[in-house]
């Protein structure tokens, strides 16, 4: 895909353009978090409960923290959890779904039973139990891994259905006759067909993981010393920011989370439209 076609596609799909703009805002906040030497674990270094001003663009908290600088660190950690969860879970899903679908027979049956077992388990109650038991040991890496283990089931079934179709194609039979092994066929011949769908699936996984982390953190079931969108909202609720009129403490984190998730959603929708054969024909006529 050339640069010109990418630009034309962005002009054609307004969802993609709007999604890129929203995600650029989130990316800017993440960049600021890396270049800033602000430590969100320090308290009472600024005046408390100050509204937004030129010196503190998003105000300060009852803990004497700068909301804007804290929020940049929080967004970075929340996205880190989401990306780790989505990547690890999709790697597991690709391996299990593709292998089971290609091999078929008892292998596919056993893998399908295991997959269905993970799918029917209610994830939120299980996450609450795990987080309650290991709250102080949780960090972005651990949380991302836990979420990944609970989120590979449905993607695995989707990849399996694609492999069931691909393995009946003529090029698969040609690969077999050429002496290629099962694993080699799956990853060299079949997986490239799944890459566009995996990319869309990863974006959906990031959104889900951010939502789960935020939910657990608001309930106080994540390490509250680590800034995330959820823990920021937890502390705002803990100090009754909504009732005391300190709207900037909880309002800006909610806005940033909405901007990030909505941007990811629009990007996912645009990629799905790009992959849809019917919309592709319409796009070719327009471009």
CB within 8 A of 13, min separation 6: which ones? 270, 273, 274
Q: Which two three-digit tokens encode residue 136?
A: 């102080």
We find that the CATH architecture of domain 11-33+56-286 is: Orthogonal Bundle (1.10)
| Domain parsing of the chain, residue ranges | 11-33+56-286
Assess whether pLDDT exceeds 90 at residue 75.
yes
Assess whether pLDDT exceeds 60 at residue 277.
no
Assess whether pLDDT exceeds 80 at residue 89.
yes
pLDDT of residue 287: 52
Q: Is 60 helix (H, G, I), strand (E, B) or coil?
A: strand
pLDDT in tens, 34-45: 998 888 888 888
Q: What is the mean pLDDT of the chain?
A: 86
Question: How far apart, in Å, do the first and last CA atoms of the chain sit?
Answer: 14
Q: How confident is the model at residue 136 (pLDDT cuts 50, 70, 90)?
A: confident
Q: Percentage of the chain with pLDDT > 90?
A: 47
pLDDT of residue 24: 94
Q: How confident is the model at residue 264 (pLDDT cuts 50, 70, 90)?
A: very high
Q: Which two three-digit tokens encode residue 186?
A: 């799956």
Q: What is the mean pLDDT of residues 103-129?
A: 87
CB 138 within 8 A of CB 223: yes
Assess whether pLDDT exceeds 60 at residue 3.
no
Q: What is the mean pLDDT of residues 201-213?
A: 94
Is the pTM higher than 0.85? yes
């Amino acid at each position: 895909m050339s640069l010109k076609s990418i630009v034309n596609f962005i002009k054609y799909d307004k969802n993609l353009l709007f999604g890129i703009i929203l995600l650029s805002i989130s990316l800017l906040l993440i960049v600021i978090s890396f270049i800033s030497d602000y430590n969100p674990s320090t308290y009472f270094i600024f005046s408390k409960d100050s509204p937004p001003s030129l010196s503190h663009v998003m105000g300060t908290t009852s803990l004497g923290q700068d909301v804007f600088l804290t929020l940049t660190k929080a967004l970075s950690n929340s996205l880190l959890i989401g990306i780790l969860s989505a990547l690890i879970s999709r790697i597991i899903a690709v391996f299990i779904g593709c292998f089971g679908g290609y091999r078929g027979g008892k292998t596919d049956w056993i893998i399908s039973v295991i997959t269905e077992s993970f799918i029917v388990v209610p994830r939120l109650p299980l996450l609450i139990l795990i987080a309650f038991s290991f709250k102080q040991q949780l960090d972005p890496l651990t949380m991302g891994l836990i979420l990944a283990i609970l989120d590979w089931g449905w993607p695995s079934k989707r990849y399996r259905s694609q492999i069931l179709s691909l393995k009946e194609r003529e090029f698969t039979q040609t690969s077999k006759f050429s002496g290629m092994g099962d694993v080699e066929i799956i990853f060299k011949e079949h997986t490239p067909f799944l890459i566009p769908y995996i990319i869309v699936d990863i974006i959906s996984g990031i959104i889900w993981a951010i939502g789960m982390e935020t939910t657990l953190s608001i309930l106080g079931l994540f390490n509250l010393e680590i800034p995330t969108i959820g823990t920021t909202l937890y502390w705002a609720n803990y100090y009754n920011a909504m009732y005391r009129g300190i709207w900037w403490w909880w309002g800006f984190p909610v806005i940033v989370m909405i901007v990030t998730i909505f941007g990811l959603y629009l990007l996912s929708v645009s990629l799905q439209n790009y992959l849809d054969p019917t919309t592709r024909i319409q796009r070719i006529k327009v471009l």
